[in-house]
Structures are given as C-alpha cells and as structure tokens.
Amino acid sequence: MATQDELKQRAAFRAVEFVESGMVVGLGTGSTTEHAVKRIAALLTAGELNNIVGIPTSIRTEKIALESNLPLVGFDTHQEIDLTIDGADEVDPELNLIKGGGGALLREKVVAQASRRNIIIVDETKLVAQLGTNWALPIEVIPFARCTEEKFLTGFGGTVRLRTNDDGTPYRTDQNNLILDTNFGKIVDPYNLAAKLNERAGIVEHGLFLGLATDVIVAGEGEIKHLTRTSPNRKG
C-alpha cells in the first residue's frame, strides 16, 4: 500500500506534466507542492523543460525552489501566471477548497487569482462532501484586531483557536499576522461565509478558495483522478 506521501508525490508529478517550457509557474506551499517544485527543478536541470520561472507563495517555498535551482521572479516583472500548482486541506465536489494549513493562504490566494489555470494536488483523504468536515477554517488577522475578530467569529458560531508554534508562542505568517483556526462545523454555504469574512477590516484573508481551482488531481490507491471545474467561476 502506498504511503500518504507517495500519493502526494504521484499527484504532484501528474500536475507537473502540464508545465510547458516558457511558462510562468505559481508555486504553492506544503508537503504535496514541495514534490512538484522539486520535480520542475529536476526537469529543468535535465533539460526536459527550459525557460521556466516560478512565483513562490511563501518564504518556505522560495527556499525550496532556490535550493533546487528553480529561477524565481515576482509580480514586479510578471503579473500573469500561466499555471499554478498548489495543495489543499479540503476539496468539495464543486472543487471549492479550504487552504491555509501551512499558513500561506494570503499569498496563495493572490497567486491563484493571478493565474490562468490552478491545479490543486491532493491525496484522496482531502476529498469531503462539505467543507469544514475535517478542517477548521484558517483566518489570517492583523495582530491589532485579534480580539475583536475573535468575538465577531464566535458571534456566529465559530470556535476559535489561535494558531501557535510548538513552543506555544503565536504562529506568525509571512506577513507577520496571526491565524485564527475557526471551526464552524460543516459549512453549509461557503459563499455566504466568505462574504461575511470579506467585510471585516481586521481579517486580511481566509482559507475559503471558491471558484479558483480549475483542476484537482487526486491520488488514491491504484489510480489518479483528474477533476475539472464545470460550474461557473464565482470567486471567493
């Protein structure tokens, strides 16, 4: 039986088959995407791909890419991304996502919104009938607003937990913000929830990625499924 990490690698390698020479590639964050970043770099080194540049979604991914000799650029020179490969924490049947387990949700959403195509790579444990089934929603807040946003989230049924490091100190994002992992139970209407969260000044971003994934590649025991978006693209 394949390990979860082997399944992640299979999904990543399948996604990299869609990368073509000359592309600007968005590089997601997390253990699944790490396989994709290293695979693209290896194909570049081998001369099977050329003229690829990446835009990383986190300092963590930037480091992995640079260590693997994958050239990086920023939005100052490249505002359009051909293809982004990223992971997810949960995927629903409409290909809506919860992301942010790795804390990179803000840059990940910026990169996703700048991308023509967003391929999400997951192992089959990430598929759920309804978002919120296994994963609390990561919500990035500015430190100044932490307590008022916590009250706001609790006010409509969220159970809020401040994300911490192993030593108990508050986790800080690449923007030096905090993350409130908020459990709403199964999320009945993610668009309505996203709209509420989008209205709050202290909430910089949340991990609901609605209408952004164009493709989801799911690695399971024995097979890899490639799901594509069929419903209209409502961004959230």
Please list the active-site residues. 108
Contact 236, 211 (CB under 8 A): yes
Site for ligand 5RP in 26-85 (CB under 6 A): 28-33
Closest by Cα among 157, 64, 56, 185 to 110: 56
Q: Which is nearer to ligand 5RP, 54 or 102 (CB)?
A: 102
Using the rule CB under 6 A, which residue among 26, 54, 56, 87 binds ligand 5RP? 87
User: Looking at 94-102, 146-154, 156-164, 181-189, which segment touches ligand 5RP (CB under 6 A)?
Assistant: 94-102
Q: Which is nearer to ligand 5RP, 101 or 202 (CB)?
A: 101
* H or E segment and range at residue 24: strand 24-27
CB of 137 to ligand 5RP, least distance (A): 12
Chain position carrying tokens 């970043």:
37
Contact 48, 82 (CB under 8 A): no
* 99 forms part of the interface with ligand 5RP (CB under 6 A): yes
Q: Tell me the per-residue interface mask from 101 to 140 with ligand 5RP, x by CB under 6 A, - otherwise.
A: xxxxx--x--------------------------------
Angle, in degrees to the nearest 10, between helices 31-45 and 59-67 = 30
Q: Which is nearer to ligand 5RP, 149 or 181 (CB)?
A: 181
Residues 6+ apart with CB under 8 A from 5: 31
The token duo for 199 is: 């209205």
Closest by Cα among 140, 136, 135 to 122: 135
User: Looking at 14-22, 66-74, 93-101, 169-177, which segment touches ligand 5RP (CB under 6 A)?
Assistant: 93-101
Q: Which is nearer to ligand 5RP, 28 or 158 (CB)?
A: 28
Helices and strands of the chain, counted as H and E runs: 6, 13
Binding residues (CB under 6 A) for ligand 5RP: these are 28-33, 86-89, 99-105, 108
